[in-house]
Amino acid sequence: MKAQLARIMHESITPPLPASVPQPAARVVGVSKRFGKTSVLENISFDVAEGEALVLLGASGSGKTTILRIIAGLEQPYTGKIMLHGREVTELPARERGVGVIFQSYALFPKMTVEKNIGYGLRIRRRRRKEIKNTVNELLSLVQLEEHRKKYPSQLSGGQQQRVAIARTLAYNPEVLLFDEPFGALDAQTRVHLRREIRALLKKVNVPAIFITHDQEEALELGDRIAVINVGHIEQIGTPREVYNNPATEYVATFLGAANILEGTITRGHVVVGSAQMPAHLPDDRFHEGQAVKLIFRPEDVLLSKTQEFPVGHACLSSGVVEEISFVGAYERLRIRLEASGGACETSDQPYYLTTETPERQTAKPVIATRPKPETNAFRLHAGDRVFLGLSSFTILPNDARTSAASQPIINPAKQ
Amino acid sequence: MRHVRGFDVVRPLSIWMLIFTMMPLVFLPLASIFIFGTSSGLGNFWSALMAPEAVFALKLSMVTSFWATTFNVLFGLFAAYVLSRYNFLGRNALIVTISLPTAIPTAVAGFALLLLWGPYGTLGRFLRPQGIQVMFTAGAIVLANIFVTFPLAFGVIKPVFDTMSRSLEEASATIGATRWQTFWHVTLPSLRGAIVSGALLTFARAVGEFGSTILVSGNLAGRTQTAPLYIFAKFNEGQIEAANAIAIVLALFSFLIFSVLFFARDWLDVD
């Protein structure tokens, strides 16, 4: 009763979809979930378009599996609703939703052969024997398991079992495919291989899919879009490029790849970090003079130079001293300590600002930079060398934990 | 003890000790049944076995055990499903209660049934005016068998239920199956081994039941006398050959059931 009331109240405040957007394959609208008194999901909303692959990325315990189970009908939301191709299914039991779930353990029926497993959905729908046989044959060839049709699940490898699990759901034309940590049970090499296979398979069958994973590399490779989930709410949702290059929150920046985070303030259109300062084009409505901000940039966005001269599209941050260089195979990783004073870049068009508001300790925080091989070879660096740091791309976020979820200030000098 | 290289003395010693201990306790009593039963010739054994009362007793034992087994397997399946799938207040108390009958002396079980269903029992006194008599019939034997073998099938099936992955049933549901279809196509096949072993155990135990049946059946030859009661009655009458013939059949029968349980266990829990 309470849940229903809350749901009704919620519906009224849910903004309607813009008319131009085509009907999404799946919609999650304002879903929240509680187990007892603990809230595990708060107002989760997202759409999955036809043929799209959406990845829900989050640490374990972030609530991502609960979202999946709610869409599948294995769990009831406290508020909110689930729509599949425009049909509301919130109150429908799992078996009437027509979603395909690929469980982490695959959940293949151990006493059925591969073909029986695949045909199960059609058998319980009482389809004609010939139709079942044809569909099973088509799916067996789609997932390339023809020669294993008479085997039992225990006789198959992990990857083969997963393909059976996918074929088993495709048999009844699911509205959406839900993958629960699909590669969690596999070793690293198989994992990479399989996710490419699945990506190709999904493009072929054109069924919308929602993946759940805690592996950022997997998320970037599998998803057309990624939703980053943190303690029960969506931090950011966007294409892999958007989420990686323009993280909306500090959590997103650090969860997806490595990030350097420096605290600074806004002073006359500049971000000032210690004695260093960078010109930044800030939207007036989000930032004001003297505001505390965070400057976020990725190690690979740092360009190192002996001089203050940087190619177009790079902003000079500061000078620093190389503390440590480590070789990590494909690239070189450097730890650089920014110079506390006098390290600021001089810019021809900007006057030099000396600030005292920003904490000096920020400059004592080391910055991590990575350099690819060609750069390493062209310009050798050793511990103790003094270098200038240029940034090809960075993000400025208000330094306020409370507003982090809603912020979207992206400043990218490379694009300007 | 002196050690001979490559020869472990403890091994043959312990094996022989095991056999030696079992000799007077198990092997010899069993052997004596066979030796005595066939000592006066197989012809006598056969005619003792074919005596109408003997045949009736064996048949009655089989039929009553069959119904008790059928009931207890179905009930055990249901109880195991409920108690492993749902968590509720008093669940553990129910599990203990179901397991209780194994710990109660069978004579007490029979006595309890008499107090309930007997002509002057708690329920029986209301049934008697309607002309319904429960005790001293084949039905009473089935009731007694159900009571004493109650937890056996449940005890075998429940652990299998507990270890069965929930995601199998959830997968079946998302594929579109009803609860019944899921149970029939997914859950039940995984329980096949447990059901067969549970049934065999229950049946073997029910066929041999004596303590409770002698109280509730009335022990009427040719009407409510089961095979163990027949052995007891014939022994009391001094007809040792008659008692012995049935004893051989029952001993062979249990031997057969436990051989199946032991040697077919690979088949019973194939994955």
Q: Can you spell out the DSSP letters for A97-150?
A: T--EEE-TT----TTS-HHHHHHHHHHHTT--HHHHHHHHHHHHHHTT-GGGTT
Q: Is A172 on the interface with B (CB under 8 A)?
A: yes
Confidence at residue A406, expressed as pLDDT on a 0 to 100 scale:
39
Residues of chain A with pLDDT below 50 are: 1-19, 348-361, 363, 401-416
Bridge partners of residue A277, in order along the sequence: A272
pTM (2 d.p.): 0.78
Q: Which residue of B has its CA nearest to A165?
A: B171
Q: Which residues of A touch B173 (CB under 8 A)?
A: 73-74, 93-95
Question: In this structure, are residues A236 and A252 in contact, taking their beta carbons and an 8 Å threshold?
Answer: yes
Confidence at residue A13, expressed as pLDDT on a 0 to 100 scale:
44
B268: confidence class by pLDDT, cuts 50, 70, 90: low
Confidence at residue A271, expressed as pLDDT on a 0 to 100 scale:
78
Question: In this structure, are residues B212 and B147 in contact, taking their beta carbons and an 8 Å threshold?
Answer: yes
Question: In this structure, are residues A262 and A320 in contact, taking their beta carbons and an 8 Å threshold?
Answer: no
**B160 to chain A nearest CA, in Å?**
14
Residue from A120, A132, A152, A170 to probe the interface with B (highest B Cβ count within 10 Å): A120
Say how far apart CA A61 and CA A66 lie, in whole Å. Answer: 9
Say how far apart CA B244 and CA B223 lie, in whole Å. Answer: 21
pLDDT tens readout for residues B13-39: 999 999 999 998 988 988 888 888 778
Q: Over 70: is that where the pLDDT of B185 sits?
A: yes
Average pLDDT over residues B234-247: 91
- A354: number of CA atoms within 13 Å, CB side? 4
B177: confidence class by pLDDT, cuts 50, 70, 90: very high
Across the interface, which of B176, B181, B189 has its CB nearest the CB of A172? B176
**Quick one: which of A130, A168, A128, A124 has its CA closest to A149?**
A168
Q: Which residue of B has its CA nearest to A119?
A: B175
Strand order in the sheet with A100-102: A100-102, A177-180, A209-213, A53-58, A225-230, A233-238
The structure tokens listed for B249 are 């059949």
Question: In this structure, are residues A276 and A318 in contact, taking their beta carbons and an 8 Å threshold?
Answer: yes
